[in-house]
Structure 1
């Protein structure tokens, strides 16, 4: 029976790959992405309108690199679009991307948001901030260190410590203060939790709205998405229940992460794919990201949306993305070591 199940799983996997390849083969640019399709479709539509080139997206939340490796030289993937420096670096380390030498990308994207070896390029940034209850929290400034202060005991909510957004933040903390300090900090966060970590960033805002906790960690763009959600209007109430507070390291700067793009190693439509990469780094796409996705554009001179401006001034940390990626494995070890996802223990 076990072998039968494994055989069925293998056949199903091969069928999916073949089906995906067939679906994508009709497009001019094939995109494997871990980003929710509705977040990137507006910019893809704008690209098609400007160039006449069609796009196809295949959403792969987990195992993206493994999928491309399994497909090998026959992979239909032209571009990899994902969130988090860790996932961009993982694709690079897996050997499923190739460098792109483009004057357009070099001009539009600041050096700190480009891989040194040109294997990935950031398209947007987002800040990892504090969601604070409007009714129960009266602070305008807070440091990341202070989140571990016992005064917040039983008042903090987060998603899993192993989620890529939190791992990146812990990795940044390691880069700033060292492993021992980071271990102590994560332990303090754990003991300040109101409950075991669960849900996504939106659910942390919901928990504040419900009175389950008073502060939470979350990304900035989720606040914009909740505040304007017409399909699930109850999310507007969650957004209205919180204020965004920009936490800082000792340097007075706030942790940011990125979404980005890489050219797939065996891209069958490499020229078209690079055209899309360049388009995504340009004015029109960057404005769409800002206005519709409530993200911070990486192209200098492109303003954020009015809603994002209402969060207050973001002063992004100058820590390199490479430094953050380098400490991710240790950050993950610390989360398990202190049993963060087990919830408060003191």
Structure 2
């Protein structure tokens, strides 16, 4: 088990992963966690948007969990500390809201009345701060822009591939690489240069000669790309690699985030919070960066099973400048 050392009020504390909303145990007793339970948990956890994963694994999240635990003299009780972390985590992972949180606080932590309500307010506040911290860290390494702005700013993204098989543009039998540029050519040739509705987009994705050959994962990536063109929704772009992270883009549901923001800020009374404003001083500062390292490690280059063919002029092929 990894330990984090930080200094506060002239005392040295050693904290286990129970203080991390990302790493806290699945069960009340961390000793009861089975490998398959942990694996299943992280499979679900990794479906969260990247910025929330950054926030849940941040130093700030650990600090706030510690402050809340300390208010109740629980900082040495790893089971109760773990439950605080899980409550924060489950606001995002399990969509826990007021009734669920209040019930868990009563049943797991035996808090009642006003004390339970104040504790609930602090869980909401930690979740709010976790989200803000994650957004700040996310913005250091990623843009969240619509595809038109991405193409305007970084035209090289048009060469990124979706799928592995060649595609064939209308009235042409020359196999083309499945690049974003060629997918847009195919889409606009088949459906017209306009903003398309969901029905038109779905027909293209499932009935188009090229798109129907995609597996479900690649079709979803193409779908969110086309939705960004039609509706202007934002996509995740890696600042360093100038690469569209379409799989990560799929995890960001704007309607869900709007509802989440409303919940986190509703009836939040600052004067009732236990969380101290004076920050703790961490000896180790890079703990929250682990998610970035994990993220970069699973980036895979799309296989190229065939070589690029020389592009030939195609009759009626659209100029992609119409996209921007």
Q: TM-score, normalised by structure 2?
A: 0.27
Please identify the structure whose Cα radius of gyration is greater.
Answer: 2
More helix, by proportion = 2
Q: TM-score, normalised by structure 1?
A: 0.25
